[in-house]
Amino acid sequence: MHLMDQPCAAHYAAHATECIDMVADLARSWLTFSAPVAAAQAAGRPLVALESTIIAHGMPYPENVRTAREVEALIRDLGAEPATIALIGGRIRIGLSNDELELLGRSERAHKVSRRDLPAVLAGGGLGATTVAGTMICAALAGIEVFVTGGIGGVHRGAQETFDISADLQELARTSVAVVCAGAKSILDIGLTLEYLETHGVPVLSCEQDNVAAFYTRDSGFRADFRLDDAAEQARFIRTKWDLGLAGGVVLSTPVPQAAAMTSGEIDALTRQALAEARAQGITGKAVTPFLLARIKALTSGRSLATNIALVKHNAEVGARLALALARAGRGAGAA
């Protein structure tokens, strides 16, 4: 076997890099940036991605649109630029206007878009609300490093029989975006979700407490991999991971404010009831999570919605500070 000579090796390496760049350019050609997001990116201001499934499927109208606007305002007030992501008219929209937020908030036909759904909704020109996984993909294409959501998806309760595991977890393993959240949604099996993330090498950070948050409740009972309370520390950790070539996301868990938190006992009981109703009605797949959230809202007379809004706003503040810290950290050991 003959070793490839150096000029030939250099040629093939350059060709491979050129092919990768062409693929990336093709993917980015599907993006349309709003004027504020484009201006912020050109000026070097940090961006914070926001999902749209929470608008179209996670909250009722008009609370969904009002919350989306308030979250965007919080991020701007802290010095970053929000970029709510959705699929509209065959384009990946990075940053939405008020009219587009209204469209998502009022529509009953918005597709819930994860990795597998992106080609179908884009090719068909439909309206798509991006999940955690879908938003991570679009954020990475747009060069956005921080993404704020309410809670990530994960391993559903009873997954040993149903194999119902959110695509969010695989996306966290492969796409290099930091996801700020209030942990995994309380309706999930959080222990198995964390085991899955560990298996795939996804670090789970926590700020403000040692344990991972559990969406409606502050404490899941499971310890995070690392506790980092300061945004600069979080940024150094994340930047070091990516500088080392360790692809994939990072979960940064932060708990819902104490005043808005619900108790784990109450949420567990409500989740069991809602799951039983879902099984009785034959609800499966991507319809499960919206159904459970809606049922818990109804069973709590709206208290869970208030908790959801409070945690998303808190996550936005944490995410904006992280985006600013990552921008200051730069790239490489010397910059960090």
Active site residues: 51, 185
Closest Cα partner for 158 from 272, 297, 291? 272
Cα of 304 vs its chain's centroid, Å: 20
Cα of 204 vs its chain's centroid, Å: 14
> Is 112 annotated as belonging to a binding site?
yes
User: What SS3 string covers 200-250?
Assistant: CCCCEEECCCCECCECCECCCCCECCEECCCHHHHHHHHHHHHHCCCCCCE
Q: Which helix (H) or strand (E) holds 55?
A: none
Residue 241 CA to residue 238 CA, distance in Å, equals 5
> Is 166 annotated as belonging to a binding site?
yes
Return the structure tokens found at 177. 């975006």
Residue 152 CA to residue 115 CA, distance in Å, equals 15
Name the pairing type of β-strands 250-253 and 178-181.
Answer: parallel
Residue 43 CA to residue 33 CA, distance in Å, equals 14
41 to each of 32, 76, 81, 205, 267, how far by Cα in Å?
A: 13, 14, 9, 27, 41
Closest Cα partner for 257 from 298, 225, 216? 216
Closest Cα partner for 81 from 331, 319, 329, 295? 319
Closest Cα partner for 60 from 332, 295, 294? 294
> Is 132 annotated as belonging to a binding site?
yes
> Is 168 annotated as belonging to a binding site?
yes
Residue 53 CA to residue 327 CA, distance in Å, equals 27
Task: Give the residue ranges of the annotated binding site for Mn(2+).
Answer: 164
Task: Give the residue ranges of the annotated binding site.
Answer: 112, 132, 164, 166-168
Task: Give the residue ranges of the annotated binding site for substrate.
Answer: 112, 132, 166-168
